Homo-oligomer: A and B are copies of this chain.
Amino acid sequence: MEDLSEIVSEKEKLSVIQPEAIRSALKRISPHLNKTPILKSHLLNSLLGHEIFFKAEVFQKTGAFKARGALNAILRMQEEGNLPKKVVAYSSGNHAQGVAWAAARAGIESTIFLPKNVSSVKKAATRSYGAKVIEVETRQEAERLAREEELKGAVLIPPFDHDYVIEGQGTACLEVLDEGIKPDAVFAPCGGGGLVSGSYLATKLACPEAKVFAVEPLIANDAAMSYRSGEIYKFNEQPGTIADGARTLALAPRTFQYVKQLAGVYEIGEEDIIYWSQWINHLLKITCEPSSALGMAAAHKWLHGQEKGQKALVIISGGNMSEETYRKIWQKDYLSAIPGIIA
């Protein structure tokens, strides 16, 4: 059974998503999702001399863009007559909550395996979406048990290595472009590459002249290394970046085929991630995960080299943080160093 599914996924690696699929995904999922706001900061724009649009996925269902991909996967299965009775996911991050929420929306069961060290808040949230939450000792055990559920007929929804998931993630960017906003550059954080791949496809569809950049922490720069060498680089251990959404070990071949085509991959230092986490919180009045601050950190670097005023689109991927991350972010003062003046 497992072998079969591996062969299938090996084949699927070759599939290429047509940009129009992002449009179809948006039609499919938008009746169920929040149309998240596009925010601007008058102060930031006047300090930098550019116009920056923030797509605030912190206001998406479950507090992150992940609800988009999970719902698109489930609804596409339903369209194809293959709606499973149960879906399963293992993750300590936003993807698990996205799957739990999407399953409830489609009226099917979900089982989510969470490692014990996941915060009580996250567990409570996942349960509140109606999922069966099973706490296990380690992430490895979570994965093993999820695979067992698969053998019993549940469908495992992967966090990024799936066409339907990537299509869903691209809808956040498409929603912005559909508002008539024509950015010169788009910045999306990159863990496994689902969001940036989807954003690339959306941009190709609706604003092909815009550059699209992936952004990751410098100490978790597998995508940058892969981009430079042309071959997927994989970390052996999870990098210890504060941007927990970008701790993924490697891209999948499925996402790498889009990352390869990007205008570039930015690598951001840990201090810069915290700096922009504080400033986005302060300027936009939104909770911003460290992973979500990556985009603005990269936009700032890119804009700095531009001679005339540019329009940048920054995807703020989510706003779910542990108590510990909040504390780490606010330990040191970066608000005294005003962007464009001291920074």
Contact = CB atoms under 8 A, between A and B. Distances in A.
Contacts of A58: 285
Contact of A281 (B59, B120, B287, B324): B287
Interface in A113-147: 119-121, 124-125, 128
Contacts of A120: 335-336, 338
> For chain A, which range describes its interface: under 10, 10 to 19, 20 to 34, or 35 or more residues?
35 or more
Copy total for this chain: 2
A128 B287 contact: no
Contacts of A331: 327
A287 B278 CA distance: 11
Contact of A287 (B42, B285, B336): B285
Contact of A330 (B37, B121, B282, B327): B327
Contacts of A59: 285
A193 interface: no
A338 B63 contact: no
A92 to B, nearest CB: 16
Contacts of A336: 119-121, 323
Given A43-B125, A121-B338, A335-B121, A285 B319 contact: yes
A277 to B, nearest CB: 11
The 7 closest A-B pairs by CB, nearest first: A285-B319, A58-B285, A323-B333, A285-B287, A330-B330, A323-B335, A326-B330
29 contacts: A43-B124, A43-B125, A46-B128, A47-B128, A58-B285, A59-B285, A119-B335, A119-B336, A121-B282, A121-B335, A121-B336, A124-B341, A281-B287, A281-B326, A282-B287, A285-B286, A285-B287, A286-B286, A286-B287, A323-B333, A323-B334, A323-B335, A323-B336, A324-B333, A326-B330, A327-B330, A327-B331, A327-B333, A329-B330
